[in-house]
Amino acid sequence: MLSTVRACALVGLDGFIIEVQTDFNPRASIPQFVIVGQADNAIKESRERVKSAIRNSGMQFPNKAYVVNLSPASLPKHSTAYDLAIAMGVLAATDQAPLPELENALFIGELSLNGEVCHVNGILSMVYAAAQTGIRRVYLPAADAPQAALVSDVDIYPVKSLGQLIEHLYGLDPIPVFRSDPSQLQTPPDNFGAITDFSAVKGQEQVKRALEIAAAGNHNLLMIGSPGTGKTLLARAMPGILPALTFVEALEITRIYSVADLLEADHPLIASRPFRAPHHTISQAGLVGGGSTPRPGETTLAHRGVLFLDEAVEFAPRALEALRQPIEDRIVTISRAGGSMTFPASFLLVLAMNPCPCGYHGDPVHACSCSPTAIAKYQARLSGPLLDRIDIHIHVPQVDYDKLMGTERGETSAVVRERVEQARVRQRERYTALTGVYANSDIGVNDIETYCSMTPTAKSLFETTIRRLNFSARSYHRMLKLARTIADLGDSALIDVPHAAEAIQYRARLMMSEGRS
């Protein structure tokens, strides 16, 4: 007897519906259980899990011949999420499950030997794929039901065990459809209370201004300063001034973390913008994604949030250079012999570094012990093409003792975030006709002249600066977008001289060493 049950394959972040076709031959003289269709070892091992789960659930597993085909066979399959579908295919083929109840349904889950249905990663992408293909019933692990219920127009059935599912399909003990908490379907509140507040950072007003501009337009930023000046503290305060997530953005991030299996069981929806701070020993694959079966890296896990690289020059040069394409394209494409996968990577990059190996080059208090050659070699670890993609270069000075010990506190993150959100509102209204543009940094080259209008005096200032400092075309375009953000913070329709001058000084001032722009 032949049965067909639907499962789902994950390719990158996308789900693809798979037909699990099970052929049972009761007249075979040699017992066998064969799984075909580019199944990896984890799926082939499901034969033993399925056998034990069926028998330990009180059902029969005739010791005959079974052939399970995962169609389409051209698509590689990974993970243990096929266990439940394979078990249902075997039960339907052996006339122990009602075939009509398996139509227009998706089965996801790993089986334990006692028949318990266990958690799998990537549930959100799989359920979304079901909704897109018209499947209206999804049976999955009870632990994953809150996450799956974020997708509308699909009935989610939380299954605890294989035996419970069979009873449900025969109408003996129906499983109620899982209903998510309505509050989870609203715009999630950001967890600002767990983030360093701007008011806790003494002094550094100019650096705070640079961070505010970066947050308002999603511009990349490089902080250079001696040890102990507060670079890491300032970077960790960055998420607190970013605008709150929209529900669509929250779903994007949740989908990524679902595939990476980083979601908390009691928090199915990501409520805060990601802040990722990998150690400098991370590999290139860990940073941008990769592996024999490509998985998302830190650039994708930081999507819609902040990627902070502390001690940036200590990262492997190949890993740093791999950031160049994601910064420009907002995606990461990983190619392997079996095909290519694309992961989203729209992040705000924040780099922090010392000015020299000892850390005190240019410090007014501590003497630098490094030679000019050592300083130049140290600073050259960040290549010109990478620096060209960073909009804001800012020096972080030592904080005066009086400010450090004073009781006066600056603006809170909430006050700064309100200005940032107002600037983002202006940008969303401006770019309603453009697809995939959420902030000024996302504008393409073709649209810069249209949306970055400036006064004649501001244009003259830019022309003079470009000629004198010999900026690249990319630098000019990034300065224009940065000036557009500064104008948005000032509620100005046109880019004027003050906006242009501030944008230029973040590029033109010497941040690395004397004589380098």
Per-residue pLDDT reduced to its tens digit, 2-21: 999 999 999 889 999 999 99
Q: Tell me the pairing of strands 14-25 and 65-71.
A: antiparallel
Question: 22 near 5, Cβ under 8 Å?
Answer: yes
Contacts of 351 (CB under 8 A, 6+ apart): 220, 221, 222, 223, 308, 309, 312, 382, 390
What tokens were used for 294? 């490509």
In the predicted structure, residue 456 carries a pLDDT above the cut 90: yes
- CA distances (Å), 146 to each of 132, 134, 180, 298, in order? 19, 21, 6, 25
pLDDT at 338: 64
- Provide mean pLDDT across the span 182-190: 54
pLDDT band at 113 (very low <50, low <70, confident <90, very high): very high
Give just the sign of the alpha carbon dihedral 74, 102, 23, 122: positive
Instruction: Please state, in angstroms and rounded to a whole number, the distance separating the CA atoms of residues 127 and 94.
Output: 28
pLDDT at 189: 54
User: First vs last Cα of the chain: how many Å apart?
Assistant: 74
pLDDT band at 462 (very low <50, low <70, confident <90, very high): very high
Q: How many CB atoms lie within 10 A of CB 243?
A: 22
Q: Using only C-alpha atoms, what is the Rg of the chain?
A: 28
Instruction: Please state, in angstroms and rounded to a whole number, the distance separating the CA atoms of residues 52 and 115.
Output: 8
Question: 221 near 312, Cβ under 8 Å?
Answer: no
Contacts of 399 (CB under 8 A, 6+ apart): 202, 203, 204, 229, 230
pLDDT 10s digits, 279-325: 999 999 999 998 877 889 999 999 999 999 999 999 999 999 999 99
Number of helices (H) and strands (E), helices first, in the chain?
Answer: 21, 16
- Provide mean pLDDT across the span 227-241: 92
Instruction: Please state, in angstroms and rounded to a whole number, the distance separating the CA atoms of residues 315 and 278.
Output: 10
pLDDT at 204: 87
Instruction: Please state, in angstroms and rounded to a whole number, the distance separating the CA atoms of residues 12 and 334.
Output: 10
Q: Tell me the pairing of strands 339-344 and 331-336.
A: antiparallel
Instruction: Please state, in angstroms and rounded to a whole number, the distance separating the CA atoms of residues 284 and 291.
Output: 10
pLDDT 10s digits, 389-418: 999 999 999 887 777 777 777 889 999 999
Picking from 287, 285, 334, 331, the residue whose alpha carbon sits closest to that of residue 309 is: 287
In the predicted structure, residue 378 carries a pLDDT above the cut 90: yes
DSSP 397: P
The percent of residues in the chain predicted with pLDDT above 90, rounded, is 72
What tokens were used for 450? 């249209």
Contacts of 453 (CB under 8 A, 6+ apart): 493, 494, 495
Instruction: Please state, in angstroms and rounded to a whole number, the distance separating the CA atoms of residues 322 and 389.
Output: 13
- CA distances (Å), 311 to each of 113, 212, 382, 385, in order? 48, 22, 11, 19
In the predicted structure, residue 500 carries a pLDDT above the cut 90: yes
pLDDT 10s digits, 22-60: 999 998 889 999 999 999 998 999 999 999 999 999 999
Instruction: Please state, in angstroms and rounded to a whole number, the distance separating the CA atoms of residues 423 and 431.
Output: 13
pLDDT at 183: 57
Lowest mean pLDDT among 65-69, 118-122, 158-162, 196-200: 196-200
Q: At what angle do helices 473-489 and 413-430 cross, to 10 degrees?
A: 110
pLDDT band at 190 (very low <50, low <70, confident <90, very high): low
DSSP conformation letters of 65-113: EEEEEEESTTS-B-SSTTHHHHHHHHHHHTT-S-GGGGTTEEE--EE-T
Lowest mean pLDDT among 155-169, 245-259, 404-418: 404-418
Instruction: Please state, in angstroms and rounded to a whole number, the distance separating the CA atoms of residues 329 and 444.
Output: 10
pLDDT at 298: 97
In the predicted structure, residue 128 carries a pLDDT above the cut 90: yes
- The SS3 of residue 279 is coil
Which of the two residues, 45 and 508, has the higher pLDDT score? 45
In the predicted structure, residue 242 carries a pLDDT above the cut 50: yes
Instruction: Please state, in angstroms and rounded to a whole number, the distance separating the CA atoms of residues 276 and 299.
Output: 8
- Provide mean pLDDT across the span 343-364: 93
Contacts of 188 (CB under 8 A, 6+ apart): 244, 245, 247, 250, 269, 270, 271
Q: Domains in the chain and their CATH numbers? A: 2-180 (3.30.230.10), 192-433 (3.40.50.300)
Q: At what angle do helices 497-508 and 456-469 cross, to 10 degrees?
A: 20
Instruction: Please state, in angstroms and rounded to a whole number, the distance separating the CA atoms of residues 118 and 116.
Output: 6
Q: Quick one: the chain helix, strand, coil %, rounded to 5?
A: 40, 20, 40
Beta bridge partners of 161: 116
pLDDT band at 256 (very low <50, low <70, confident <90, very high): very high
Contacts of 13 (CB under 8 A, 6+ apart): 125, 255, 256, 259, 296, 343, 344
pLDDT 10s digits, 84-96: 999 999 999 999 9
Q: How many CB atoms lie within 10 A of CB 78?
A: 17
Mean pLDDT of the chain: 90
- The SS3 of residue 7 is strand
pLDDT 10s digits, 60-77: 999 999 999 999 998 989
AA identity, residue 299: T
DSSP conformation letters of 170-202: TTSSPPPPP---GGGGSPPPP-GGGS--GGGS-
In the predicted structure, residue 452 carries a pLDDT above the cut 90: yes
